[in-house]
A = this chain, B = another copy of it.
């Protein structure tokens, strides 16, 4: 019997209306651990290359890890693995909240969903059983309204524990960057919400009390105590520390002062009115703190604001949301950003992609590449907050100009002549808020991310901006390939366990290894875990290669190579193309990938025991 795990993976075929429950073998569990690793294994094995991400054959997999559902701190996240409709690449996305815990307690390590329901449906997953239910009455509702109605319908008593992941109108309308939302937390980036919408699946409800069995209860408790102490003492995670106090909003101070805060669609990398949206400024809007299951950090908070006499309430905003819907659109009013965040969550859309696509549209408008004829008469100038909110409504509903933006920056740039060089995406995924022109390693990390332009596939924030473990020249290229490689593995490790990246400030690989060993009864080492992470990273690369991605796709938006900002600490800096290519060469050498194609070499695959 597998300890820590439920040992069960459910396969739901919405076309057939069938449920097939399969066993998770110990061999596969050990080889892939969970999360990214397990998800990549299942998707690589079961998805035919070339599958249309929005067709019935795409597969979406909700997944957990070996510590999910235990009291170990900061591991309550759940994963969602699918093929992205926005990029065509592998997509893995992790969400905080309570969904992962409830999924495990409902009796499953993973639920893989394929096919397309004939009519709008939802899944009810309870204590080892899964039912496909009708959801016609929910179609068209926002994510929060969907959750509310489902909770009322399913609960036998008030306050009953369950978790609901749902899509909103954006997912239904197949907006390319639609998210899946659970209690205001998102499986974000890359359009998993559109995949769910394409399957006529409105929501997934998980609940149960099947708590995982643990091999060494006493030992595990001691490890938990020690890790909670480390969290309680680490400057980033302790009470009153950066994460509990600010969430990630304090990052804006750091990126501003280092010239890495993209603004006006990446024309600049500082923002003049930054103090209006600083971490401290945002505190004025906070109404209450929030935390995920069993998390002593509590990095989240509810914020409230009014815009044009309408009240908005959101969980967040986090740094990325602020950057994308704020400075990147020339906006410095926190109330507008909070309202925009609220709308994106309610419609079920990714705030980064939404904000960056709007910023891109604003620059297109200012440059005269699109005019009021195309914008339904709206003035799309930077700084226009009212238009920002209006655009969000239109995108989610695919109305008027919204239908154009709902395709994301990459597809939109193909339709707007002369805009390609300043469309800020990689492989179709819009970039998050760290400008590689001021931190060259971040550029490499972005270019190599398996799901396109992403900041959580080896972010160099800690190394290049915070100077940890020791300061380095962030404008330099030397040594960056190996730095990025190490960061990628450390992020992939967290994503296989599905451990929170913030928790990992205070919890080390050694702690995770000890915790997993105590829970499962296995004897695994830090080296084993590292190999699992590397295996996952190579498997997603192999997935993308199978879909036709090569070295040529490992690149950056043209603007970053050719146009520097006009002010601030990174003024005039660009990514030098030759140095970037050299970093890529070095990286491929280090990881054992072919330099011409960027495809993992046979030797590496053999070493990692990956079969093509």
A113 to B131, CA, bound (A): 89
State in angstroms the CA–CA spacing of A230 and B505 once bound together: 22
Query: Besides the contacts A229-B569, A233-B465, A468-B468, what 11 more A-B pairs have beta carbons closer than 8 Å?
Result: A230-B467, A230-B471, A230-B473, A233-B467, A235-B466, A468-B469, A471-B505, A471-B507, A471-B508, A471-B511, A472-B508
Does A470 belong to the interface (CB within 8 Å)? yes
A residues touching B (Cβ–Cβ < 8 Å)?
226, 229-230, 233-235, 238, 257-258, 465-473, 505-508, 511, 569
Across the A-B interface, give the 8 residue pairs with the lowest CB-CB distance, nearest first. Answer: A469-B469, A230-B471, A470-B508, A234-B467, A471-B506, A471-B508, A233-B258, A226-B473
Specify the chain B residue showing the minimal Cβ separation from A473: B226
Shortest C-beta distance, A306 to chain B (Å), equals: 32
Q: Smallest distance from the beta carbon of A92 to chain B beta carbons, Å?
A: 24
Tell me the bound Cα distance from A226 to B505 in angstroms: 27
> How far is the CB of A246 from the nearest CB of chain B, in Å?
13
Q: Considering only CB atoms, which chain B residue lies closest to A233 in the complex?
A: B258
**Nearest CB to that of A509 among chain B residues?**
B470
Q: A233 vs B507: C-alpha distance in the bound complex, in angstroms?
A: 25
Kindly provide the distance from the CB of A47 to the nearest chain B CB, expressed in whole angstroms.
Answer: 36
How many angstroms from the CA of A594 to the CA of B276 in the assembled complex? 62
The chain B residue sitting closest to A472, CB to CB, is B508
Q: Please name all residues of chain B whose beta carbon is closer than 8 Å to the beta carbon of A511 when the two chains form the complex.
A: 471
**Chain B residues within 8 Å of A258, by CB:** 233
Selected A-B contacts with CB under 8 Å, 13 pairs: A229-B569, A230-B467, A230-B471, A233-B465, A233-B467, A233-B471, A238-B257, A467-B506, A468-B469, A470-B508, A471-B505, A471-B507, A471-B511
Q: By CB atoms of chain B within 10 A, which of A467, A468, A505, A507 has the most?
A: A467
Most interface-central of A230, A470, A511 (chain B CB within 10 A)? A470
What is the copy number of this chain in the assembly? 2
Closest residue to A469 on the B side, CB-wise?
B469
A511 to B467, CA, bound (A): 13
Q: Of all chain B residues, which has the CB nearest A464? A: B233
Chain B residues near A507 (CB-CB < 8 A): 471
Could you say which residues of chain B place their CB within 8 Å of the CB of A238? Answer: 257
- Distance of A473 Cα from B468 Cα, bound (Å): 19
Which residues of chain B are near A226, meaning CB under 8 Å?
Answer: 473
List of B residues within 8 angstroms of A257 by Cβ: 233, 238
Of all chain B residues, the one with the shortest Cβ separation from A507 is B471
Report A469 CB to chain B, min CB distance, Å: 3
A235: B residues at CB distance < 8 A: 466-467
Give the distance in Å from the alpha carbon of A233 to the alpha carbon of B468 in the complex: 12
Kindly provide the distance from the CB of A108 to the nearest chain B CB, expressed in whole angstroms.
32
A472 to B257, CA, bound (A): 31
Once the chains bind, are B508 and A234 in contact (CB under 8 Å)? no
CB of A503 to closest CB in B, whole Å: 11
Residues of B within 8 A of A569 (CB): 229
Looking at A229, A233, A468, A506, which has the most chain B CB atoms within 10 Å of its CB?
A233
Cα separation A506 to B468 with both chains bound (whole Å): 9
Residue of B nearest to A506 (CB): B471
Give complex CA distance A565, B230 in Å. 21
Closest to A467 in B: B234
CA distance A467 to B469 in the complex (A): 10
Residue of B nearest to A466 (CB): B235
- When C-beta atoms are compared, the residue in chain B nearest to A242 turns out to be B235
The smallest C-beta distance from A465 to any residue of chain B, in angstroms, reads 7
Task: List chain B residues, Cβ under 8 A from A473.
Answer: 226, 230
Cα–Cα distance between A508 and B508 once the two chains are bound (Å): 24
**Distance between A533 CB and nearest chain B CB, rounded to angstroms:** 16
Question: What is the bound-complex CA distance between A230 and B475, given in angstroms?
Answer: 11
Q: Give the distance in Å from the alpha carbon of A226 to the alpha carbon of B471 in the complex.
A: 10
Q: How far is the CA of A473 from the CA of B222 in the complex (A)?
A: 12
In the assembled complex, which residues on chain B have CB atoms less than 8 Å from the CB atom of A506? 467, 471
Minimum CB–CB distance for A461 against chain B, Å: 12
Q: Which residues of B are found within 8 Å of A466, using beta-carbon distances? A: 234-235
Q: Look across to chain B and name the residue whose beta carbon is closest to the beta carbon of A569.
A: B229
A233 to chain B, nearest CB (A): 6
Q: Closest CB-CB distance, A438 to chain B, in whole Å?
A: 10
Name the residue of chain B whose CB is nearest to the CB of A508: B470
> For residue A505, which residues in chain B have a CB less than 8 angstroms away from its CB?
471
